[in-house]
Structure 1
Amino acid sequence: MPRTHARADTQSQTPMLRVAGAALLVFGAAMLGGAAWGQDDTAQGSDKIITAHGYSFYGDLKYPADYTHFDYVNPDAPKGGEISISTLGTFDSMNPYSRKGRGGALSTVMYESLLGEGVGGEIVPADVYGEAYCLLCESLEYPESKDWVVFHMRKDAKFSTGDPVTAHDIAFSHNLLLDQGLKSYADAVRKLIPKVEVIDDYTIKFYFSPGVSRRSLIEQVGGVPAWSKKWYEETGARLDESRLETSPGSGPYMIDSIDVNRRIVYKRNPDYWGKDLPFNVGRNNFDKIRVEYFGDENSAFEAFKAGEYTFRTEGSSKQWASSYDFPKVTAGQVVKEDIPDGSPPTPSGIVFNLGREVLQDKRVREAVALGFNFEWTNESLQYGLFKQRASFTQDTPLMATGAPQGAELALLESLGDVVPPELLTQDAVMPHTSDASRLSDRRNLRRAMKLLDEAGWAVGNDGKRYNAQGKPLQLRFLLNSSGSATLSAVIENFMSNLQNMGIDAVLEKVDSSQYTARERDRDYDMVYDSYGAFLGTGTGLEQRYGSEAAAYSLFNPAGLASPLVDAIVTASLAADTKEEEDASLMALDRALRYEFFMIPTWYNDSFWTAYYDQYEHPETQPPYALGYLDFWWYNADKADALRAAGALR
Structure 2
Amino acid sequence: MRNSLIAAIMALGVALTPHLAQAQETIIRAHSVSTFGELKYPADFKHWDYVNPDAPKGGTFSTWGFGTFDSLTPYILKGNAAALSSVFYDTLMTGNLEEPDAMYGLVAESLEYPENREWVIFHMRPEAKFRDGSQVTAHDVVFSYEILRDKGTPSFKTTFQYFTGAEALDDFTVKFTFDPDGPLRELLMTAAGIPILSKAYYADRDFAESSLEPPMGSGEYDLLSVDPGRSVSYKRRDDYWAKDLPVSIGTNNFDILKVEYFADYTTAFEAFKGGAYDFREEYSSKVWATGYDFPALDKGWVIKESLPDGRPAGTQGFWFNLRRDKFQDPRVREAIGMAFNFEWSDKSLFYGLYERTDSFWENSDTLQAEGMPSEAELAILEPLRAYFPETVFTEPAYVPATSDPDTLADRRLLRRAGRLLDDAGWVVGDDGFRYKDGQKLTLEVLNDSPSFDRIINPYIENLNRLGIEATANRVDPAEAQEREKNFDYDMVTQRFSMSQTPGDELQQIFGSASANTPGSVNVAGLSNEGVDKLIRVIADAQSREELNVAVRALDRVLRAMHIWVPQWYKGEHNIAYLDVYERPYTDNPPPLALGEMSIWWYSEEKAQALKDAGAF
What is the TM-score of this pair, normalised by structure 1?
0.90
Is 1:240 the equivalent of 2:208? Answer: yes
**2:131 aligned residue:** 160
What does the per-residue CA deviation read over 1:227-285, in whole Å, with 9 as the maximum and x for residues that have no partner?
1111110xx32232221113211111110111112211111111111111110111010
Paired residues of 2:272 and 2:278 also in contact (CA < 8 A): yes
Using the alignment, how far apart are the partners of 1:416 and 1:508 within structure 2? Answer: 38
Paired residues of 1:316 and 1:484 also in contact (CA < 8 A): no
Shift of 1:457: 1.2
Using the alignment, how far apart are the partners of 2:120 and 2:47 within structure 1? Answer: 26
Shift of 1:420: 4.5
Shift of 1:38: 4.6
**2:528 aligned residue:** 562
Match among 14, 32, 44 for residue 66 of structure 1: 44
Using the alignment, how far apart are the partners of 1:565 and 1:41 within structure 2? Answer: 38
Is 1:604 the equivalent of 2:562? Answer: no
Is 1:226 the equivalent of 2:196? Answer: yes
Q: Which amino acid aligns with 1:282?
A: G
Using the alignment, how far apart are the partners of 1:104 and 1:570 within structure 2? Answer: 33
How does 1:374-453 map onto structure 2 within 5 Å? 374-396=342-364, 397-415=366-384, 417-453=386-422
**2:7 aligned residue:** none
Is 1:339 the equivalent of 2:307? Answer: yes
Is 1:201 the equivalent of 2:171? Answer: yes
SS of equivalent residue, structure 1 residue 279? coil
Paired residues of 1:97 and 1:239 also in contact (CA < 8 A): no
The change in CA–CA distance for 1:479 and 1:323 in structure 2 (over 3 A counts) is same
Using the alignment, how far apart are the partners of 1:169 and 1:570 within structure 2? Answer: 31
Match among 87, 90, 114 for residue 112 of structure 1: 90
SS of equivalent residue, structure 2 residue 305? strand
Match among 138, 161, 185 for residue 215 of structure 1: 185
Shift of 1:546: 1.3
Q: Which runs of 5+ in 1 are unaligned?
A: 1-35, 117-123
Using the alignment, how far apart are the partners of 1:506 and 1:337 within structure 2? Answer: 37
**2:293 aligned residue:** 325
SS of equivalent residue, structure 1 residue 225? coil
SS of equivalent residue, structure 1 residue 280? coil
SS of equivalent residue, structure 1 residue 132? strand
Match among 517, 521, 542 for residue 482 of structure 2: 517
Match among 212, 223, 226 for residue 258 of structure 1: 226
Shift of 1:426: 1.5
What does the per-residue CA deviation read over 1:620-641, in whole Å, with 9 as the maximum and x for residues that have no partner?
4101011111100011011011
Paired residues of 2:391 and 2:560 also in contact (CA < 8 A): no
Match among 473, 492, 508 for residue 527 of structure 1: 492
The change in CA–CA distance for 1:534 and 1:426 in structure 2 (over 3 A counts) is farther
**1:12 aligned residue:** none
**1:39 aligned residue:** 14
Shift of 1:643: 1.7
**1:364 aligned residue:** 332
Q: Which amino acid aligns with 1:39?
A: V
Shift of 1:428: 0.5
Q: Which amino acid aligns with 1:111?
A: Y
What does the per-residue CA deviation read over 1:299-329, in whole Å, with 9 as the maximum and x for residues that have no partner?
2112211212111111111111111111111
Is 1:540 the equivalent of 2:505? Answer: yes
Q: Which amino acid aligns with 1:199?
A: L
Is 1:613 the equivalent of 2:579? Answer: yes
- Percent of aligned pairs sharing the same letter: 46
Deviates more, 1:61-70 or 1:391-400: 391-400
Using the alignment, how far apart are the partners of 1:267 and 1:577 within structure 2? Answer: 41
Match among 618, 621, 631 for residue 599 of structure 2: 631
SS of equivalent residue, structure 2 residue 508? helix
The change in CA–CA distance for 1:352 and 1:476 in structure 2 (over 3 A counts) is same
Q: Name segments (4+ residues, structure 1) moved above 6 Å.
A: none
Alignment root-mean-square deviation, CA: 1.6
SS of equivalent residue, structure 1 residue 47? coil
Using the alignment, how far apart are the partners of 1:334 and 1:100 within structure 2? Answer: 39
Shift of 1:417: 3.5
The change in CA–CA distance for 1:556 and 1:250 in structure 2 (over 3 A counts) is same
Q: Which amino acid aligns with 1:433?
A: T
Deviates more, 1:525-534 or 1:200-209: 525-534
SS of equivalent residue, structure 1 residue 548? helix
Using the alignment, how far apart are the partners of 1:355 and 1:419 within structure 2? Answer: 18
The change in CA–CA distance for 1:263 and 1:577 in structure 2 (over 3 A counts) is closer
How does 1:88-103 map onto structure 2 within 5 Å? 88-103=66-81
**Number of paired residues?**
599
The change in CA–CA distance for 1:604 and 1:69 in structure 2 (over 3 A counts) is same
What does the per-residue CA deviation read over 1:53-73, in whole Å, with 9 as the maximum and x for residues that have no partner?
111121331000000000100
What is the TM-score of this pair, normalised by structure 2?
0.95
Shift of 1:37: 5.9
Using the alignment, how far apart are the partners of 1:261 and 1:197 within structure 2? Answer: 39
Using the alignment, how far apart are the partners of 1:537 and 1:89 within structure 2? Answer: 29
Paired residues of 2:444 and 2:471 also in contact (CA < 8 A): yes
Is 1:476 the equivalent of 2:447? Answer: no
SS of equivalent residue, structure 2 residue 512? coil
How does 1:173-192 map onto structure 2 within 5 Å? 173-189=144-160, 191-192=161-162
What does the per-residue CA deviation read over 1:361-398, in whole Å, with 9 as the maximum and x for residues that have no partner?
11111111111011111111111111111111223212
SS of equivalent residue, structure 2 residue 26? strand
Q: Which runs of 5+ in 2 are unaligned?
A: 1-10
Using the alignment, how far apart are the partners of 2:441 and 2:389 within structure 1? Answer: 28
Shift of 1:562: 1.5
Using the alignment, how far apart are the partners of 1:298 and 1:213 within structure 2? Answer: 44
Q: Which amino acid aligns with 2:80?
A: R
Q: Which amino acid aligns with 1:68?
A: K
Using the alignment, how far apart are the partners of 1:577 and 1:312 within structure 2? Answer: 38
Shift of 1:46: 3.2
Using the alignment, how far apart are the partners of 1:37 and 1:319 within structure 2? Answer: 49
Using the alignment, how far apart are the partners of 1:380 and 1:400 within structure 2? Answer: 29
Paired residues of 1:392 and 1:534 also in contact (CA < 8 A): no
Shift of 1:416: 5.1
**1:490 aligned residue:** 455
Is 1:285 the equivalent of 2:256? Answer: no
Is 1:459 the equivalent of 2:428? Answer: yes
Paired residues of 2:73 and 2:215 also in contact (CA < 8 A): no
Using the alignment, how far apart are the partners of 2:380 and 2:292 within structure 1? Answer: 50
SS of equivalent residue, structure 2 residue 62? strand
The change in CA–CA distance for 1:577 and 1:510 in structure 2 (over 3 A counts) is same
**1:571 aligned residue:** 537
SS of equivalent residue, structure 1 residue 59? coil
Paired residues of 2:338 and 2:400 also in contact (CA < 8 A): no
Match among 585, 594, 599 for residue 551 of structure 2: 585
**1:79 aligned residue:** 57
Paired residues of 1:479 and 1:528 also in contact (CA < 8 A): yes
**1:508 aligned residue:** 473
Q: Which amino acid aligns with 2:555?
A: D
Shift of 1:548: 2.1
**1:309 aligned residue:** 277
Paired residues of 2:89 and 2:218 also in contact (CA < 8 A): yes
